[in-house]
Structures are given as C-alpha cells and as structure tokens.
Amino acid sequence: MRRVGNDVVDLEDPAIAQTHLRERFVARVCCESERARVAGSSDPKLLLWSLFAAKEAAFKALSKSGPLVFAHRRFVVAEDLRSVSYLKQVLWLRVDVHGSCVHAVAWTDDEPPIFGVEKLEPGVDASAAARALLIQRLGGGGLTIAREPQPGSWNGYGPPKLFRDGVEVNLDISLSHDGRFVGFAADSSGAEKR
C-alpha cells in the first residue's frame, strides 16, 4: 500500500522565532550536510523548518509499516527538497511555502498524493479541522477518520485511518496541525486499492 505523510509548521509561532539559532536543536534535527546548508542559507529559519517538516512527513509515512523510533537526524533530506531518505528507503517529497506556513508531503510511490493546507479561524479545534478538510477533499459521503488504540506505540494510538460507513478504506491518509494551520495528504490512487 502506498504510504503518505505530511507536516505543517507555522513559521510565525513565537515559540520557534529563535529556534534556528539554537545550535543544539539544529544538531539534533539535522545531519552534518543539512547543518552546513542551514548555516549557509540566506533564510536559515525557513530551511530548518522545511527540513524538519520533511522529516516529520517521512516519519509519518514510514511509521505505518512497522515500529519506528523517530530520530530526525536519520531522515536525510535531499538538497533540492525533492526526496527524503531513511536508511535504504527513499521517499518522494514536496515542500511548499504558503505565506507563513511550510507544508511538507512525503510519499512512497511514483504517483503524488493529494494534499492541502488551510488557515484556521481562532478558537477552532485543529484536530477536527484537519479531519474535516480531508473528508471534504475526498467528497464526504459517509467518510470518517479515527485512530485506533495501538498498544506499544508512543502514545497508545496508531496513525489516522479512513473509514466509509464504519468500514476501513484502504487508502492511506495523513493529518497535521501546527499553530494557525492544518494540513493533510492522501493517496490519490483511488479508494479500496488492495
């Protein structure tokens, strides 16, 4: 099954205003070559969070194939931001900047997934908004999204899954929310693919 992952980062979140200047954080997230790229970048903040989002997107995609401890440095992002590697696995990648939001999407097969980002109105529940956005893009029609209990996973729950009228649809999806933004990615190959 094709795996997809996505991650949004709100670049105007005050909590990350100076993070790109913190060497220990950069060293925890980036491998040596990525650190050099960040240091030499004309926009180190944008590049750092693009790399971070890419790694999170790839982790979300790959963690669905089996237990995976997340070590950001082990996910290596290509200089052109078109692919991300983890050990011998290479995922396709796209990174888009929408105003003050970075959105990364990673996927395992040739066909690009569908994806989207939306800015939230203040006070809206981000988790629910991400689900609503994805379901709307998939056409609604009895679709729901749930995370099932998964003993042994880092927070006791598995990744989000898509259901139609209560029956799981074999179409991989991914959700993300950060600050004022929500995002999603979904396999574009059509539902019920086995």
Ligand X SMILES: CC(C)(COP(=O)(O)OP(=O)(O)OC[C@H]1O[C@@H](n2cnc3c(N)ncnc32)[C@H](O)[C@@H]1OP(=O)(O)O)[C@@H](O)C(=O)NCCC(=O)NCCS
Span 146-165, contacts to ligand X by CB under 6 A: 147, 154, 159-160
Torsions phi, psi of 10, nearest 5? -85, 105
- From the number of C-beta atoms within 10 Å of its C-beta (0-12, 13-18, 19+), residue 48 rates as buried
**Residue in 172, 79, 171, 182 with CA at minimum distance from that of residue 126:** 182
How many residues touch ligand X under the rule CB under 6 A: the total is: 18
Radius of gyration, alpha carbons of the chain? 16
Burial-class residue 56 by CB neighbours within 10 Å (0-12, 13-18, 19+).
buried
Among the listed residues 10, 118, 172, 178, the single contact to ligand X using CB under 6 A = 178
> Which residue, 17 or 40, is less far from ligand X as judged by CB?
17
Applying the rule CB under 6 A, the residues between 5 and 24 that interact with ligand X are: 7
> Rounded to whole angstroms, how far apart are CA atoms 102 and 137?
20
42/155 with CB nearer ligand X: 155
Can you tell me whether residue 3 is helix, strand or coil?
coil
State in angstroms the smallest separation of the CB of 99 from ligand X.
18
Q: Confirm or reject binding of residue 70 to ligand X (CB under 6 A).
A: yes
Element (DSSP H or E) covering residue 33: helix 32-39
Q: Which of 19, 89, 127, 188 binds ligand X (CB under 6 A)?
A: 127
Considering only 16, 63, 133, 187, the residue that binds ligand X (CB under 6 A) is: 63
Among residues 59, 86, 107, 181, the one that binds ligand X under rule CB under 6 A:
59
Residues that bind ligand X (CB under 6 A): 7, 56, 59-60, 63-64, 69-70, 127, 147, 154, 159-160, 174-178
